[in-house]
Structure 1
Amino acid sequence: MAANRATHIALTALAPISWGTTYAVTTEFLPPDRPLFTGLVRALPAGLLLLAISRTLPRGVWWGKAAVLGALNIGAFFPLLFLSAYRLPGGMAAVVGSVGPLFVAGLATVLLGERPTVRTLLTGIAAALGVSLVVLKAAGSLDTVGLLAALASTASMSTGTVLTKRWGRPEGVGPLALTGWQLTAGGLLIAPIALLVEGPPPALDGRAIGGYLYLALANTAVSYWLWFRGIGRLAATQVTFLGPLSPLTAAVVGWAALGQALTPVQLLGMAVAFGATVLGQLRPGTGPKAVSAAKGNRRSAPTTPEVPAGSRP
């Protein structure tokens, strides 16, 4: 079972790792100053593709639930994230986003009954500290609108993550269909905003088309499917602690592909954030002391006859 759990964690981690390449692809391949159009192209074609593959539409209350999840995880998250990135000094949006595990820990307490441990809270603080060391540039004046947008985007994605875990999926519906519902709903929400704010779509050359295809397919359709699949198999806090892998990947890609230097402070921050990510995957009650206590409890517990599987409630 531990091997299956490790596989679920590894597959889910591919999502934020893929999202960490978004900045490099956007700056090197896509037309500038079109964040909403980029969000729209990421979400809507990917959602429609997954709907075509799954051939499953929501039923009953799931029309409303899919719309809510699509708005939180995609439709509101994308525009708010881009707005914060454009208005805040370098890396600040990522730092605000790195407090997502603490948001999720609080929401999971209320909506899922997952009580946060001291380890979870300290790990969340360490993750935010590590990310700040990696991405935070020289301090500048903070834009109030940008800061509020960053907080709102983090709260939106965190709430969407917890509600996705709480509501689960309708019987007989897989994560592929659920992902398609959310991406389509989110894309439809972004479409009128993009048209009003940015106007008609820009002219695209072959380089831009290739970049948008990557973002829509690998970076969104596959990555969000893996993300929502992971939410269904792991604790909400475990999933959100994989989020810091995104800015860490962005820093590595910037160093490897764009020639950006990494300072000793950034390397220290990467080690801290990665360590927090790994620690965040440990379930409550794991570790040497917990294992020893569990073994002691088993030795001291009275033996009871095995109950046939068919008679268990």
Structure 2
Amino acid sequence: MNQNRLVTVALTALAPVSWGSTYFVTTQFLPADRPLFTGMMRALPAGLALLALTRRLPRGDWWWKAAVLGALNIGAFFPLLFLSAYRLPGGMAAVIGSVGPLWVAGLAALFLGEKPTLRTLLTGIAAALGVSLVVLKAAGAFDAIGVIAALGSSASMSAGTVFTKRWGRPEGVGPLVLTGWQLTAGGLLIAPVAFFVEGAPPALDGRNIAGYVYLALVNTAVAYWLWFRGIGRMTATSVTFLGPLSPLTAAVIGWAALGQALAPVQVLGMAIAFGATLAGQVTPKKAAESTQSFSSAEDNQRELSMDVTSRSMRR
């Protein structure tokens, strides 16, 4: 793995690491039992802030593409994820969600021509096994709606990852702009559902506001920018194999900040899941060359744009 790819992987990995803090922030800083409102507050303010910062709106067919990606990555993903977390026994939602690499492997073969290898499938199974050892707890009733919601959230995010890779970005549009479009579209999709299901927004104190500011800026705006940036520079399968870092981070935060004990089997699970994450970054030579070519072309286009701008300013 060359240095540029190592940096790209490390920066992209910060996204699921950040998402791993969501449970801690939600339970310690936010109002209870308002998952849809929380989803809206994560996405919409961050999206509007990025739109104001970048001052760029979609054009042509990117209106509907941005809406579809926003629905898959944000608008459908957040509510389904929270619904599964509320209805399933402890950790079950994370276990079902950890099959994301297998979803992506299948979708990438269908839409991107990235043929899954036996190593990819075995690595995906190992990742799901490792996560299950870390978070799965025996308790609670098995809930069909919760299982469907968990599978739906995983499939939604996986499809969003694949189609973000397939469609790329419009010429001259960076990942920050694309992030703003998707967060705004997803937040607008969640907002009416949140008000219909949960009613008026709750009264917020300073602690709640601090939690929402963190979720909107660090956990969502910055994290999703890094995630979409990584999708543009890596294969879809490699990106999704970073996903298990989220439940692993949540487990570490629970141990360090909440005093939750880690049993030996959980430590073993963390080692297996982390090993699968590393193994998922080893891409076939052809796919790596293709991604590198895309990244190099993107860099050349950016340099050309900067050169044109510089010449225009000198004139």
TM-score (norm 2): 0.90
* 1:168-221 Cα distance to aligned partner (Å, 9 max, x none): 000000000000000000000000000000001000110010000000000000
Shift of 1:156: 0.4
Matches within 5 A, 1:180-191: 180-191=180-191
Q: Which residue of 1 aligns with 2:312?
A: none
Query: Is the partner of 1:58 in helix, strand or coil?
Result: coil
**Amino acid across the alignment from 1:70:** G
* 1:252-276 Cα distance to aligned partner (Å, 9 max, x none): 0000000000000000000000000
Q: Which residue of 1 aligns with 2:106?
A: 106
The answer to whether the aligner puts 1:251 opposite 2:251 as a matched pair is yes
**Amino acid across the alignment from 1:66:** A
Contact conserved, 1:117 with 1:284, CA < 8 A, in 2? no
Q: Which residue of 2 aligns with 1:38?
A: 38
**Within 1, Cα distance between the matches of 2:179 and 2:210?**
23
Contact conserved, 1:132 with 1:269, CA < 8 A, in 2? yes
* 1:18-39 Cα distance to aligned partner (Å, 9 max, x none): 0000000000010100000000
**Within 1, Cα distance between the matches of 2:50 and 2:239?**
22
After TM superposition, which residue ranges in structure 1, 4 or more long, deviate above 2 angstroms? none
Q: Which residue of 1 aligns with 2:83?
A: 83
Q: Which residue of 2 aligns with 1:231?
A: 231
Q: Which residue of 1 aligns with 2:299?
A: none
Q: Calculate percent identity across the aligned residue pairs.
A: 79
Query: Is the partner of 1:32 in helix, strand or coil?
Result: coil
**Within 2, Cα distance between the matches of 1:232 and 1:214?**
25
Shift of 1:141: 2.2
Contact conserved, 1:237 with 1:280, CA < 8 A, in 2? yes
**Amino acid across the alignment from 1:88:** L
The answer to whether the aligner puts 1:179 opposite 2:179 as a matched pair is yes
Q: Which residue of 1 aligns with 2:158?
A: 158
* 1:97-152 Cα distance to aligned partner (Å, 9 max, x none): 00000000000000000001111000000000000000000143210100000000
User: 5+ unaligned residues in a row in structure 2: which ranges?
Assistant: 287-315
The answer to whether the aligner puts 1:273 opposite 2:273 as a matched pair is yes
Aligned residues: 286
Q: Which has the larger radius of gyration?
A: 1
Contact conserved, 1:73 with 1:160, CA < 8 A, in 2? yes
**Within 2, Cα distance between the matches of 1:139 and 1:209?**
33
Q: Which residue of 2 aligns with 1:131?
A: 131
**Amino acid across the alignment from 2:211:** G
Q: Which residue of 1 aligns with 2:55?
A: 55
**Within 1, Cα distance between the matches of 2:230 and 2:125?**
23
* 1:60-88 Cα distance to aligned partner (Å, 9 max, x none): 00000000000000000000000000000
Q: Which residue of 2 aligns with 1:66?
A: 66
Contact conserved, 1:91 with 1:132, CA < 8 A, in 2? yes
**Within 1, Cα distance between the matches of 2:123 and 2:141?**
29
Contact conserved, 1:179 with 1:228, CA < 8 A, in 2? yes
**Within 2, Cα distance between the matches of 1:175 and 1:144?**
37
The answer to whether the aligner puts 1:143 opposite 2:161 as a matched pair is no
Contact conserved, 1:135 with 1:247, CA < 8 A, in 2? yes
Shift of 1:284: 1.8
Q: Which residue of 2 aligns with 1:205?
A: 205
Q: Which residue of 1 aligns with 2:4?
A: 4
Q: Which residue of 2 aligns with 1:305?
A: none
**Within 2, Cα distance between the matches of 1:197 and 1:162?**
30
**Within 1, Cα distance between the matches of 2:134 and 2:120?**
21
**Within 1, Cα distance between the matches of 2:203 and 2:88?**
28
Q: Which residue of 1 aligns with 2:115?
A: 115
